[in-house]
Structure 1
Amino acid sequence: MNKHLHKTFKFPSPAKLNLFLHVVGQRNDGYHELETLFQFIDYSDSLEITVTNNSNIELVNPIDGVKNEDNLIFKAAKLLQEKYRTDSPNAALLGAEITIDKILPMGGGLGGGSSNAATTLVALNALWGLKYTNEQLAGIGLSLGADVPIFIHGFSAFAQGVGEKFTEVHPEECWYLITKPEVSISTASVFSSQDLPRNTTKLACQDFDKHYCDKDLFNDALYHNDCQTMVIKHYDEVAKLLAWLVEYAPSRMTGTGACVFSRFSSQQQASELQAKLPKGINSFVAKALNKSPLLFAIDALKK
């Protein structure tokens, strides 16, 4: 008897920042070779999951405009079931009722969809008692998106390849003002654009953790976001916001946008600039985290 059956548990699904994002090439299969530095922030969607004794996956509050079969939460749960059915064909499949409290903006570059998929895989693996390793879960998650594995592993990392090769790093856990203009940007549109740079020189250091230096993070000669180069050409809202923010603090776009992060040494400094923002800019202040809050939730589940 599964001890979690018919009980409801809540799990965080945190946002990430790409502190830099270099596109260093493109493979024959169309995927881009990247070098990026991931860090989590303490701002999260939340998933409430109730384990059921049938194999149904039910999204209690589907996201408007997104079909269930296209929802990464639903797809992650079904892939995990398929993996278990293949590995243990005689075992009974459990199901789940899943509710999402969605606060991360879509099309913002904060990894919300990937984070939702990762939280689903990690949480259901624990709740269903499947005992897959994080490496096995990351293998499932990679088919859903290049960012999913980092959310599964749950630590800040220098990532290479298509985002699946990790070196754990420990950048400063500073404060960020996260801002988003009234525009959403499709990841696919960025990576398919002819204006996206694809030839940034790979970082020379073999051991990134030893060579990484926080004070150089916003030295554009060393680190930058290649996607930002394309986005500011085509999205005037992001270009104007960035131009305004850099007058006050080191600022850069995260992921494929449209969110921009500005770095501060204190919450007060971030909040003071937040109060000055132009009208029409969505924003929040968040603390950087080098360990995902999802890992703490899973640890608590085991006690």
Structure 2
Amino acid sequence: MTPSAALARPLQALYDVPAPAKLNLFLHITGRRPDGYHLLQSVFMLIDWCDTLHFELRTDGIISRTDLHDAQAPGVETLPAEDLCMRAARALQAACSTSLGVHISLEKRIPSQAGMGGGSSDAASCLLALQRLWGVRLPAEKLKTLALSLGADVPFFLSGGHAWVEGIGEHITPITLPEASFVVVKPGAGVATQNIFSASDLKRNTVNATMLDFAAHANGQIFEFGHNDLQPVAQRICPQIDQSLEWLESQQLKGRMTGSGSAVFAQILHDQALSSAPGEWKIKKCRNLEIHPLADW
């Protein structure tokens, strides 16, 4: 059977496909490759803040997308015409040599420029859903290579759960995390990832940690391990990150930034009450997920 061989007769549609966000419990930059890519260590944790995607089969080979929101609504982000979801669909279509197309409807809830991996998660869910919709299947390693070509975070969202992540994002080791609740704060301003990684003052030589180091903090301190090397640069570029961390401190919470920001988070009690915050901020109480909702796909 060839990699693009049909698994079954194509479906007509798939609805309500979730794409969960992630939080970086820590993010260490340990070096830089000759090609400019940064080497990292991190724990990626899935949370229940999700985008939702719908897929309708097209037999004309065309790939199209609709954003399911009111473009005039305050705080709503309009996606670019060629977002990661569209790129993922085109890449899979080419890799499987299928003549089928798809219309994708995307309900975007995860904020962009937040460090939560929303676009990467959308792309991963797109790859998984379209294999079902089109009745095709790529071998796992080829799918991972395709995912990595789309973005460093995309392979994680195909891995099925929380993970210890190294390299440029391609070395993924599954881990188990205790159930916990968090508050995630996304200020109005965002941060472009490229601006963070290109900064001259970014620390790029943090000493390598080990999974044993991380596990040693399992007795109630697992969510306070390490630090985020990107945070000082992001705080300089985006002062609202400081304001968000100060708001968490006012709630008696110790926060840190996820990814390249600008979202910050802190562990909370599930029923913990929180005071109000600036209206343009997005604040959401979340729980971590035991596994990715599409783990068996």
Gap change, CA 1:241 and 1:206, over 3 Å in 2: closer
Q: Distance in 2 between matches of 1:19 and 1:206?
A: 13
Query: Aligned match of 1:20 in 20, 26, 41?
Result: 26
- Write the deviation string for residues 8-39 of structure 1: whole angstroms up to 9, x where unpaired: 42210110001110001111000000000001
Unaligned runs of 5+ in 2: 1-5, 72-76
Relative to structure 1, the CA distance from residue 146 to residue 199 in structure 2 (aligned partners, 3 Å threshold; closer, same or farther) is: same
Deviations 1:48-100 (A, max 9, x none): 001222211111339975443x3111110110011112xxxxxx521111000
Aligned with 1:37: secondary structure? strand
Corresponding residue number in structure 2 for 1:193: 199
| Contact 2:67-2:105 within 8 A present in 1 as well | yes
Q: For 1:216, which of 212, 215, 221 is the aligned residue? A: 221
How far off is 1:214 after superposition? 5.5
Q: Which residue of 2 aligns with 1:267?
A: 270
Question: Is contact 1:109–1:257 with CA below 8 Å preserved after alignment?
Answer: yes
Counterpart among 13, 20, 29 of residue 7 in structure 1: 13
- Structure 1: which amino acid aligns with 2:107? D
Structure 1: runs of 5 or more not aligned: 86-91, 299-303
Return the match for 2:245 from 238, 242, 245: 242
Kindly provide the CA deviation profile for residues 93-113 of structure 1, in whole angstroms up to 9, marking residues without a partner as x.
211110000111111111011
Q: Which has the higher helix share?
A: 1
More displaced stretch, 280-289 vs 1-10: 1-10
Match of 1:71 in 2: 83
Q: Is the partner of 2:288 in helix, strand or coil?
A: strand
Q: Deviations over 1:254-299 (max 9, x none)?
A: 00001011101x3211xx12x3434543211111113112326x4x
Q: Does 1:93 align with 2:93?
A: no
Q: Distance in 2 between matches of 1:133 and 1:291?
A: 21
Separation of aligned partners in 2, 1:122 and 1:208? 33
Equivalences for residues 159-178 of structure 1 within 5 A: 159-178=165-184
* Paired positions, count: 283
- SS of 2:24's equivalent in the other structure is strand
Aligned Cα root-mean-square deviation (Å)? 2.2
TM-score (norm 2): 0.88
Q: Give the Å deviation of 1:235.
A: 1.5
If the length of structure 1 is used for normalisation, what is the TM-score?
0.86
**Residue 227 (structure 1) aligns with:** 230
Question: 2:96·2:138 contact (CA, 8 Å) conserved in 1?
Answer: no
1:88-146 alpha-carbon deviations (Å, 9 max, x no partner): xxxx5211110000111111111011111111111101221212244322210111110
The Cα of 1:155 is off from its aligned counterpart by: 1.0
Query: Aligned partners of 1:206, 1:257: CA distance in 2, in Å?
Result: 24
One-letter amino acid of the structure 2 residue matched with residue 238 of structure 1? I
Other structure's SS at 2:144 match: helix
